Amino acid sequence: MISRHSHRKNEHVSLAKKFFQESASAGFEQLRFIHHGLPEITVKEVDPTTTLFNNQLQMQWPFYIEAMTGGSNETGKLNQQLAQIAHQTGVAMASGSESIALKDPSTANSFTVIRDANPTGIVFANMGAGHSLADAKQVVSLIDANALEVHINVAQEMIMPEGDREFNWIAELTDIVSHAPVPVIIKEVGFGMDQATIKQLVQSVGAKAINISGRGGTNFATIENFRRKHKDLDYLADWGQTTVESLLEAQAFKTDVDLIASGGIKTPLDIAKAIALGANAVGIAGTILNQLIQNGPEKTIEMIKDWQTGLITIMTMLGCRTIQDLQNEKLLLSPELINYIQQRRIK
Ligand code: FNR
C-alpha cells in the first residue's frame, strides 16, 4: 500500500508536468544586458566556477538541479536519474524534501540513491521549516549532504488541503542555522521573498545563504489548488513576487548573505541575468524535470551541457572572466521594474 505522503510526492511530479508553462514569466524579459564590441577576452579564460559560504563550498557551475523529488518508488527512480545527470554534467543537486523519510523510514532509499549515484558531487539535503535541529542532522546524514536547504512555504501549505496551519518558524530556523553540521540555505518554493523576510532571515535567523525562489516557473498555488476537492482557490494563482522582483528586493543584503535564485529559470540568459542581479548560484527545477520526463536522461544531459556552453558564450560576449565579473555587470531595467523599485523603495 502506498502511503498518503508518498502519493502526494507522485502527484506533485505529475502535476508539475501538467502545469508546466513555458510561457509563465519570472521577469527576465524585463532585463537587458548591454553589448560590448571589444571585450578583450578569449573563451578559454572564462571561469564559470562559483562559491558559497565564504568559499566553503566550491561549485563547478553556477547553476544546479533544484529540490524536487523522493519519498516514493517512482520519485526515487527520478532522484537516481537526476543524480546520474548531475554526476555526468558536474552540476550540484538538491534532494526533494526528506521530511517524509523522518516519518516513514521505509522511504529513505528514495533519497540515498542520490549519494549512491553521485558519490563525489555536491548534494544539498532538504526539509521543510518547522522541523528540529535533530531532524536537520538526520536529513543531512541520510545523503551525506554538503549543505542543507530548509524551505519556507507558507502559501503552499495554506493551499495544500492537508498542509500545516502553524507557522512559528523563526526559533527553530535560528537553531538549525547556528548548529547544523553543514551550512544552511533558507529557500522559498516559488512565491518569492520581500525585503522584510530577507532582513529577518539575515538579522534574526542568521542565514548565510538565501534562495529567494520566485514566481514564474513551477506554480504551487496552481498545483495544490488542483489537489483540493473544490479547486476553490484559483484566484491565488498569481500570488507572490517574481524571481526578478525578489532579486531586486534582496539588493540591500547582497553583501551580508549569499543569494541564490530559482523560479522559472529556462535559459542560460536567465541564469546570467540572475547572477548579474547578485546571485552566486541559480537553481532549476521544473525545466529539468520536464525535460527528463518528456525526453529522458540523455536529452537532459544534452540540455545541461548546452546551457554550460551558452553561459560561457554570454560571459565571453560580456567580457566577464569570472562569476564575480558577471555579478558586477550592469543591466537595463524595463519601466515596469523601475516602477516596482520606486513603489517598494528599493535602493
Ligand atoms: C519542488 N520544489 C521543492 N522545493 C523544496 O524546497 N522541497 C521540495 O520537496 C520541493 N518539491 C518540489 C517538487 C516538484 C515536482 C517541483 C517541480 C518543485 C520547489 C523547487 O525547488 C523550486 O523552488 C520551484 O519549483 C521553483 O523553481 P522552478 O521549478 O520554477 O525551476
pLDDT digits (tens, 9 = 90+) for 169-180: 999 999 999 999
User: How many other CB atoms are found less than 10 A from the CB of residue 233?
Assistant: 16
Cβ–ligand 1 distance for 193 under 6 Å, the answer no
Closest atom of ligand 1 to 94 CA is: 21
Whole-angstrom distance, CA of residue 271 vs CA of residue 217: 14
Say how far apart CA 129 and CA 136 lie, in whole Å.
Answer: 10
Count other C-beta atoms under 10 Å from residue 301's C-beta. 18
The Cα–Cα gap between 228 and 114 comes to 31
With a 6 A CB cut-off, is 126 part of the ligand 1 pocket?
Answer: yes
Q: Is the pLDDT of residue 1 over 70?
A: no
pLDDT in tens, 291-309: 999 999 999 999 999 999 9
The end-to-end CA distance of the chain, in Å, is 55
| CB of 16 closer than 6 angstroms to any ligand 1 atom | yes
Classify residue 178 by burial, with Cβ atoms within 10 Å: 0-12, 13-18, 19+. exposed
pLDDT at 336 over 80: yes
Measured from the CB, is residue 66 less than 6 Å from ligand 1?
yes
Task: Give the count of alpha carbons within 13 A of 337, CB side only.
Answer: 21
In a 3-state reduction of DSSP, which class is residue 51? strand
Supply the residue whose CA is at minimum distance from atom 19 of ligand 1.
Answer: 189
DSSP 3-state assignment of 303?
helix
Give helix 286-318 / helix 4-18 axis angle, nearest 10°: 50
Share of the chain above pLDDT 70, in %: 100
pLDDT band with cut points at 50, 70 and 90 for residue 2: confident
268: number of CA atoms within 13 Å, CB side? 17
Q: Report the pLDDT value the prediction gives residue 347, as an integer from 0 to 100.
A: 81
Phi, psi (degrees; rounded to nearest 5) at 122:
-85, 125
Distance between CA atoms of residues 212 and 188, nearest Å: 6
280 pLDDT exceeds 70? yes
Q: Is 189's C-beta closer than 6 angstroms to any atom of ligand 1?
A: yes
The answer to whether 318 touches 36, Cβ cutoff 8 Å, is yes
Distance (angstroms) between ligand 1 centre and the Cα of 312 equals 26
pLDDT mean over 36-40: 97
Is the pLDDT at 23 greater than 80? The verdict is no
Residue 321 CA to ligand 1 center (angstroms) comes to: 31
pLDDT of residue 5 exceeding 90, the answer is no
Give pLDDT tens digits for 97-156. 999 999 999 999 999 999 999 999 999 999 999 999 999 999 999 999 999 999 999 999
CB of 240 closer than 6 angstroms to any ligand 1 atom = no
Rounded to 5 degrees, φ, ψ at 105 are -60, -20
How much distance in Å is there from the Cα of 155 to the middle of ligand 1? 13
pLDDT band at 20 (very low <50, low <70, confident <90, very high): confident
Q: CA dihedral defined by 213, 175, 169, 3, rounded to 10 degrees?
A: 80
- Residue 272 predicted with pLDDT over 90: yes
pLDDT tens for 214-231 read: 999 999 999 999 999 999
| Buried-exposed string 308-330: b where 16+ CB fall within 10 A, e elsewhere | beebbebbbebbbbebebbbebe
Per the document, the length of the chain is 347
**Is any ligand 1 atom within 6 A of the Cβ of residue 97?**
yes
d(CA 195, CA 292): 35
DSSP for residue 134: H
**Ligand 1 pocket member 270 (CB < 6 A):** no
| Residue nearest atom 2 of ligand 1, based on CA coordinates | 68
187 CB under 6 A from ligand 1?
A: yes
As a whole number, the mean pLDDT across the chain is: 96
Mutational test site, ligand 1, from 12, 81, 189, 303, max ligand atoms within 8 Å of CB: 189
Distance between Cα 214 and ligand 1 center (Å): 11
How many angstroms separate the alpha carbon of residue 189 from the centre of ligand 1?
A: 6
Q: Is the CB of 261 under 6 A from ligand 1?
A: no
Cell 502553524 identifies what position?
166
- Crossing angle for the helix pair 170-179 and 133-142, to the nearest 10 degrees: 50
**Of all atoms in ligand 1, which is nearest to the CA of residue 151?**
6
The angle that helices 73-89 and 4-18 make with each other, rounded to 10 degrees, is 60
DSSP letter for each residue of 141-199: HHTT-SEEEEE--HHHHHHSTT-------HHHHHHHHHH-SS-EEEE-SSS---HHHHH
Pocket test for ligand 1, best of 23, 66, 169, 287 (most atoms within 8 A of CB): 66
ipTM over cut 0.85: yes
**Tens digit of pLDDT for each residue in 251-265?**
999 999 999 999 999
Cβ 246 under 6 angstroms from ligand 1: no
